[in-house]
Amino acid sequence: MSNFLFKLKESSIFQYSVIFIIVINAITIGVGTYDLDDLLSKVISILDYSITIFFVIEIIIRFIGEPKKINFFKSGWNIFDTTIVLISLIPIPNNSSFLLLRLLRVFRVLRIISVIPELKKIIEALLGSVKRVFYVGLLLFIILYIYASIGSILFNSDAPDRWGDVGVSMITLFQVLTLSSWEQVMLPLQDIYWWAWIYFFSFIIICGITMLNLLIAILVDVVINQKKIIKKN
């Protein structure tokens, strides 16, 4: 029995079936946010219960099909999937008192990450690079703080609503960093100070382009190292 379930859980048909159900689950969650008539609401409710039952059966198959049962709980992905499914089993009345549980059920869509190997590698790479990403983020914050302090000193009198203090200046620079209507921040100052473009362009190059490429380089390095480890094993 366990050998059959092991082959079943490892089969591509089983994996694609799980992905299909997760996609259907995502669609039902989205449709459920609209104002529906009674018939459609019942259909969505039946689909939700059916999907929950499928997920329970899937977890049982994966657990029984595991040759060494202890290894099932050693996998963080298995614990994640089991937790999401267990939360789904909690009956939730349609009222605001159970809003948190209703929100948690939305996270069933995240199970698609544990099913698709490529997505798992991306998440594992992100988790593996947390420490280095933290230091890059810290460096970004320091540069942002320095530029905000400089901007507050230089432009406070001309645009106090954007450069009144360091806090407001950091919010302004964050808008510039996202390139969201950043020219509306720069051009009024450019009319007053011809050199204002140097301040903004240097900030965008250092924080926007350089830091982004540094983050990408860290993630690529982690992925390459993981592939080397997998090949060795």
Residues 151, 200 contacting (CB under 8 angstroms): no
Helix (H) or strand (E) holding 102: helix 99-106
Domain with CATH 1.10.287.70 in the chain: 130-232
With tokens 């591509």, the residue in question is 12
Residue 202: what pLDDT? Answer: 92
What is the location of CATH 1.20.120.350 in the chain? 2-115
Q: What is the CA radius of gyration of the chain?
A: 25
Q: By percentage, how much of the chain surpasses pLDDT 70? A: 89
Q: What is the CATH number of domain 2-115?
A: 1.20.120.350
pLDDT above 90: percentage of residues in the chain: 11
Categorize the per-residue pLDDT at 96 as very low, low, confident or very high, splitting at 50, 70 and 90.
very low
Q: Is the pLDDT of residue 52 over 50?
A: yes
pLDDT digits (tens, 9 = 90+) for 107-129: 778 788 877 877 777 777 777 77
Q: What is the spatial distance between Cα 59 and Cα 5, in angstroms, rounded to a whole number?
A: 11
* pLDDT for residue 219: 75
Q: How far apart are CA 62 and CA 69, in angstroms?
A: 10
Q: Is the pLDDT of residue 197 over 80?
A: yes
The one-letter amino acid code at 91 reads: P
Task: Report the top-level CATH class of 130-232.
Answer: mainly alpha
Q: Give mean pLDDT, residues 160-184.
A: 88
Q: How confident is the model at residue 92 (pLDDT cuts 50, 70, 90)?
A: low
pLDDT at 95: 53
Residues whose CB is less than 8 angstroms from the CB of residue 189 and which lie 6 or more positions away in sequence, other chains included: 155, 158, 159, 196
pTM over 0.75: no
146 has a pLDDT exceeding 90:
yes
